[in-house]
Structure 1
Amino acid sequence: MFSLTGDGALVLVANGKGEAGIWGMQRNGATGALSPAPLWNITMARFAGKGPQFVQQIR
């Protein structure tokens, strides 16, 4: 599952399986294109069992 940050500059991605549980990718506001690699991630080791099913920015 994925969601956009409030300003639309990042795409937040939740990953139930794999090495990273959550990652953020930069988004071009004019074209919608995503960066070729994540800007950051939170490894699956931070989560007990399965990774998150959903991620969203909270202000």
Structure 2
Amino acid sequence: MNEVALRWSSRKFWAAMVWQTVLVWLLATGRLPVAAFESLTWLLLGGYFVGNIGQKWLLKGES
């Protein structure tokens, strides 16, 4: 599988997309304040970033 296909089939990526969709829906329906939306979005992005870096670091250690 090529790199683009691997990136788009990542469980971390799709989990982040699903949770971001939930956050946007909650914001749009007025159930989530803007400040909470911003904080949760930053946490989601940070978790995704740390997960990717951690995975690359662990896989590099196996080689």
Shorter-chain TM band: under 0.3
Q: Which structure has the larger Rg over C-alpha atoms? A: 2
**TM-score of the aligned structures, taking structure 2 as reference length:** 0.24
* Structure with the higher helix share, 1 or 2: 2
* Structure with the higher strand share, 1 or 2: 1
Kindly indicate whether structure 1 or structure 2 has the higher relative contact order, using CA contacts under 8 Å at least 6 residues apart. 1
